[in-house]
Amino acid sequence: MELVRTREELTTARAGLTGTVGVVMTMGALHAGHEALLRAAREQADHVLVTIFVNPLQFGPTEDFDRYPRTLDADLEVCRRAGADVVFAPERDEMYPDGEPRVRVDPGRLGGELEGQSRPGFFHGVLTVVLKLFQLTRPDLAFFGEKDYQQLTLVRRMARDLDVPVRVVGVPTVREPDGLALSSRNRYLSPEERAAALSLSAALRAGAEAAEQGRDAGAVLAAAHGAFGAGTPGARLDYLVLTDPDLEPGPVSGPARLLVAAWVGTTRLIDNMPIRLAPRS
Ligand code: PAF
């Protein structure tokens, strides 16, 4: 496995990869959720290229950019074990040599909703760095976790709308045995906060169960809200919504997505689940 830190080194390493290349973009602090992305990439592409970069553009002024976990040595070990071929881990100046880019990708209407409503500018920052990394790594396939479902949806949309020649592959969320979705930010949680964080997955499970029982959208949301409120106190709900699988507005039936975001202490967590609603009669 080769570690490259500059664009020039990346270009040389990329030129040596013959066959299909799958990219896994990360901000480091790798966990079993990232390992699932790496496994999928290993299975579906001839070569795996991992990027590790804590992108300042996607953090708001009061967010956790400074304290975001940076664990490069451990991350490289995870990549090595997973059979990655190349890891690109640039410094900030390497990614943004002219300082903050003046031109950014506009994520459109969806970029201002859900996560975008609570975190203004977040998806401009995400899509801008993802597009730059697409240009630099030129992958055939790109693997993104369903855990960040709105991000996955917008990256797919960007690839389609801007003709980026890449196949975007969504990989299901990895959960702890008690249901907590894996996230690099889970390491901020105290034991009490971790218990409260289970409210998110409990809400989604309750909603999914209600859907399986053939209940309508209103009852599914009510079940989810009920389970959120019945959890260990300490989680403060931001949103709990039911949408179609492309996060388009409007009433849904058939395949749908239930999404939740909440604050636990100073940590903001998100989660989501696919559900299937009975057709409306
Ligand atoms: O999901 C993440 O870790 C980040 O948003 C990404 C896609 C690596 C862009 O910085």
Average pLDDT (86-100) is: 97
Q: Ligand 1 centroid to 219 CA: how many Å?
A: 34
142 lines ligand 1 (CB under 6 A): no
Catalytic annotation, residues: 34
Q: Judge whether 3 is annotated as a binding position.
A: no
pLDDT band, very low/low/confident/very high, at 250 (cuts 50, 70, 90): low
Q: Ligand 1 centroid to 26 CA: how many Å?
A: 5
Helix or strand or coil: residue 27? coil
- List domains and CATH numbers for the chain: 2-171 (3.40.50.620), 186-274 (3.30.1300.10)
54 lines ligand 1 (CB under 6 A): no
Report the nearest atom of ligand 1 relative to the CA of 51: 8
23 lines ligand 1 (CB under 6 A): no
Whole-number pLDDT of residue 40: 98
**Is the pLDDT confidence value at 146 over 90?**
yes
Average pLDDT (136-159) is: 98
Name which of 14, 3, 6, 7 is nearest 47 in CA terms: 14
89 lines ligand 1 (CB under 6 A): no
pLDDT band, very low/low/confident/very high, at 252 (cuts 50, 70, 90): confident
Q: What share of the chain in percent tops pLDDT 90?
A: 96
Residue linked to tokens 């801007």: 162
Report the nearest atom of ligand 1 relative to the CA of 27: 3
Tell me if 182 sits within 8 A of 32, measured CB to CB.
yes
Q: Judge whether 25 is annotated as a binding position.
A: no
The CA distances from residue 93 to 5, 89, 101, in Å, are 11, 12, 11
Strand partners, 51: 25, 88
pLDDT band, very low/low/confident/very high, at 231 (cuts 50, 70, 90): confident
Name which of 1, 132, 113, 6 is nearest 57 in CA terms: 132
Least confident of 118-132, 137-151, 236-250: 236-250
Whole-number pLDDT of residue 263: 97
Rounded Cα–Cα distance for residues 164 and 153 (Å): 15
Tell me if 224 sits within 8 A of 230, measured CB to CB.
no
126 lines ligand 1 (CB under 6 A): yes
What pLDDT digit, counting tens, does each position of 168-198 carry?
Answer: 999 999 999 999 999 999 999 999 999 999 9
Whole-number pLDDT of residue 176: 98
Whole-number pLDDT of residue 248: 86
Strand partners, 175: 181
**Is the pLDDT confidence value at 278 over 90?**
no
Rounded Cα–Cα distance for residues 252 and 245 (Å): 9
Average pLDDT (108-132) is: 97
Q: Ligand 1 centroid to 235 CA: how many Å?
A: 24
Residue linked to tokens 């996560």: 115
Whole-number pLDDT of residue 251: 63
| Mutation probe of ligand 1 site: the residue of 130, 143, 144, 184 with most atoms within 8 A of C-beta | 130
Report the nearest atom of ligand 1 relative to the CA of 148: 1
76 lines ligand 1 (CB under 6 A): no
